[in-house]
Amino acid sequence: MPTFRFERGRVAALSVLLGAAIVACADAPSSPSTTVSSTSRSRISEAAGGPNEASENAYGLVRCHRSGPILRSAVIGPEGGTLRVGDTYLVVPPGALSERVRMTATVLDTIAAVELQPHGLRFALPVRLAIDVRDCSVREEQLPVLLYLDDDGEVRETLPGHLDEDGESFFSRIVHFSVYAVGV
């Protein structure tokens, strides 16, 4: 499976913005606190720069115009549950986990992407991921896919998915946590 590295671009600006949002959310009484490593912020920021033009079969990341990144956490266990971050959400079916786990999702503002933590968490059953693309530039005829980005910001896997009939959410299924972005 081919992999490619995203160009570095706008790294500092996105890192600062994401870091400020994390601090703001952690201090808010209604938002559970969490820690996002500087490595994670850097990886997400690199992805925002766009695909490496020298790569064959490179996917472009879907651009968005949101008011800012959003971070939320929830504890989900064997009974299943939903982690909702605005209109982006993850549905964990009953039996997908053997124990309770604190999960954190960070939705970015400049690209249709979500970082799911703890990284590497694996599920016994596929979970449904819905990424809000309402303020993003994507259409069904572009044949969007879900891109799994590894710890180095490389695309390791493309997963099938689809837009809802209103073009406001992109749906796919995942079996582990990492960084996922909608690509065309």
Give me the domains of the chain, ranges plus CATH numbers. 11-183 (2.60.220.30)
C-alpha to C-alpha distances, 144 to 17, 19, 42, 90, 136, nearest whole angstrom:
26, 28, 24, 19, 12
Distance CA 46, CA 54 (A): 16
Please tell me whether residue 31 adopts helix, strand or coil conformation.
coil
Distance CA 25, CA 31 (A): 6
Would you state the pLDDT for residue 60? Answer: 86
- Cα 128 vs. chain centroid, distance in angstroms? 13
pLDDT, one tens digit per residue, over 108-161 is 889 999 999 999 899 999 999 999 999 999 988 899 999 998 877 789 999 999
Distance CA 51, CA 21 (A): 25
Would you state the pLDDT for residue 140? Answer: 84
Structure tokens at 160: 């099938």
Q: Are strands 101-107 and 113-117 parallel, antiparallel or unpaired?
A: antiparallel
Would you state the pLDDT for residue 6? Answer: 42
Torsion of CA 60, 62, 68, 71, to 10 degrees: -90
Structure tokens at 41: 């912020």
What is the residue-level pLDDT of the chain in tens, covering all 184 positions? Answer: 444 444 433 333 333 333 433 333 333 322 333 333 444 444 544 555 544 333 334 788 899 988 888 999 999 999 999 999 999 999 999 999 999 999 999 998 899 999 999 998 999 999 999 999 999 999 888 999 999 988 777 899 999 999 999 999 999 999 999 999 999 9
Structure tokens at 61: 């990341």
Report the length, in residues, of the chain.
Answer: 184
The mean pLDDT value of the chain amounts to: 77
